[in-house]
Chains A and B, each alone.
Chain A
Amino acid sequence: MSGNQMVMFEEEQQQIQAACELLQRASNALAVLVIDKNGQEIVRSGQTEHLDITSLSSLFAGNVAATGGIAKLLAEKEFSGQFHEGEKTSVHISLVAQRAILVVLFDQRSSLGLVRLRVRKAAEALTVVFETLVRKMNSGGKSQVFGEITDDDIDNLFND
């Protein structure tokens, strides 16, 4: 089970948040999201109040999983990014450090070229953060909560 867990710490969370805010400003985007490959939100920045982030996260993850499955069947390593063009909002999706999904939502105030350029920069920064995170996870800094949880805690969650 152990190698099969994603952990996020305060420090890396803040670094990812900062990288997303930078990307969002530099690319003039509406919003930027970072989602774990399994569909859980990591950070959001920009105009996100009106967005259903939980639903979007699971669908982006499904989309990336399906695209990855297609790449495999076509003997491609992976497709480096995806772009969906809408009438008002467009979406750029890419994979970072093999484990996180970087989503940029933008409109006519930005352009695909600009977004691609800025995403490349942000991806480099994010890759460093995720690599640190993986190192931290592997060096065992993760059992803090679970060591303390008792069977009663778990039972209590279901007694209502």
Chain B
Amino acid sequence: MSFINYSSREINCKIVYYGPGLCGKTTNLQYIYNKTNPEAKGKMISLATETERTLFFDFLPLSLGEIRGFKTRFHLYTVPGQVFYDASRKLILKGVDGVVFCADSQVERIEANIESLDNLRTNLADQGYNLDKIAYVVQYNKRDLPNVSPLPELKKLLNPTNVPEYEAVATTGIGVFDTLKAVAKLVLTELKRGG
């Protein structure tokens, strides 16, 4: 849910990174955090287990600059990808303005990706959102690994509606900012259209 404050002249939006366990959601945020100027970012908060799996969420506040005198701020969140944290995922999706589905390109994670994407659709619907209507992009992560599925196959299974999609290697940052910019742009365009 975007928050437009006419008093402080700020536009705040929420973007959620979704995807199966270990696909690289937290790594995306860490890369963005490391490469962003100090004045444009706040602290990154990770509520994680002792083994660095996301337990509740990661949070990274970013300022992107001004539009017509309004500061634009994006709050980036990741969900915990492990299947049994579903109750938490539902909570993080509340008030979302844009979603990045981060897929793990490895052949053996195909089913996990499909399951997570179904779960995203269901959990969004529970909150009254439609995946086909909100700002949404797909990222195929871990393209550096040897055992990845070919792109056309991933596309067919994970992006049948042909939303913007990016190949990525979150550990080295390939595709990370392209993905973020694409979703942020869709969010603002959607606000302009619907707001």
Residues of chain A touching chain B, judged by Cβ–Cβ distance below 8 Å, are 1-2, 4-10, 13-14, 36-40, 42, 52, 54-55, 58-59, 62, 65-66, 68-69, 73, 142-146, 148-149, 151, 153-155, 157-158, 160
Complex contacts, B29 vs chain A, CB 8 Å: none
Asked whether A65 lies within 8 Å of B68 as measured between CB atoms, the reply is no
Q: Whole-angstrom distance from the CB of A68 to the nearest CB of chain B?
A: 8
Cα-based distance from A153 to B94 in the complex (angstroms): 28
Asked whether A39 lies within 8 Å of B75 as measured between CB atoms, the reply is yes
Q: Whole-angstrom distance from the CB of B153 to the nearest CB of chain A?
A: 30
Cα-based distance from A5 to B75 in the complex (angstroms): 15
Asked whether B91 lies within 8 Å of A66 as measured between CB atoms, the reply is yes
Complex contacts, A68 vs chain B, CB 8 Å: 91
Asked whether A8 lies within 8 Å of B87 as measured between CB atoms, the reply is no
Asked whether A6 lies within 8 Å of B192 as measured between CB atoms, the reply is no
Q: Which residue of A lies closest to B44 (CB)?
A: A55
Q: Which residue of A lies closest to B180 (CB)?
A: A158
Complex contacts, A10 vs chain B, CB 8 Å: 6-7
Q: Which residue of B lies closest to A160 (CB)?
A: B65
Asked whether B64 lies within 8 Å of A13 as measured between CB atoms, the reply is no
Asked whether B67 lies within 8 Å of A55 as measured between CB atoms, the reply is no
Binary per-residue interface labels of chain B (39-58) against chain A in the complex, 1 for a CB within 8 Å, 0 otherwise: 00011010100000000110
Asked whether A145 lies within 8 Å of B68 as measured between CB atoms, the reply is yes
The 8 nearest A-B residue pairs measured at CB: A1-B194, A13-B7, A38-B95, A8-B5, A146-B195, A65-B91, A6-B3, A54-B42
Q: Whole-angstrom distance from the CB of A7 to the nearest CB of chain B?
A: 5
Among the 9-residue stretches B19-27, B106-114, B139-147, B183-191, the one with 4 or more Cβ atoms under 8 Å from chain A is B183-191
Complex contacts, A151 vs chain B, CB 8 Å: 189
Asked whether B45 lies within 8 Å of A1 as measured between CB atoms, the reply is no
Cα-based distance from A50 to B181 in the complex (angstroms): 32
Task: Given the known inter-chain contacts A8-B3, A54-B61, A69-B91, please indicate yes or no for A149 contacting B42, CB distance below 8 A.
Answer: no
Asked whether B42 lies within 8 Å of A69 as measured between CB atoms, the reply is no
Task: Given the known inter-chain contacts A54-B61, A154-B188, please indicate yes or no for A62 contacting B47, CB distance below 8 A.
Answer: yes
